[in-house]
């Protein structure tokens, strides 16, 4: 069995009821469903923060699209949308 740690948190009653309904519908424990939700949140936010940091680094290096490049891309997207 994988090593785990205990985490205690407070939920408002409405969210707890939603979690209970979901865990019942999934035939999973409330802890499992909560851990999966937290895992998804952490993965998404780690990715997003990483992408923001990459963008800031690109900006710091002066790596910007020119006005012409932006205009060209925008025109292509508009043509495809039609």
- DSSP tag of 27: T
Helix ranges, the chain (H): 13-26, 30-60, 67-81
What pLDDT score does 1 carry? 64
73: tokens are 């891309």
Question: Is 22 within 8 Å of 34 (Cβ atoms)?
Answer: no
| pLDDT at residue 2 tops 90 | no
The Cα 51–Cα 23 span in angstroms is 32
11: tokens are 């939920």
Q: 6-62 pLDDT, tens per residue?
A: 999 999 999 999 999 999 999 999 999 999 999 999 999 999 999 999 999 999 999
């Amino acid at each position: 069995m994988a090593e785990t740690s205990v985490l205690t948190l407070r939920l408002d009653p409405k969210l707890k009821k939603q979690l209970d309904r979901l865990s019942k519908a999934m035939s999973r424990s409330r802890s499992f469903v909560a851990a999966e939700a937290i895992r998804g949140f952490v993965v998404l936010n780690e990715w997003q923060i990483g992408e923001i940091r990459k963008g800031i680094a690109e900006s710091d290096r002066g790596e910007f699209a020119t006005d012409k490049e932006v205009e060209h891309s925008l025109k292509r997207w508009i043509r495809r949308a039609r």
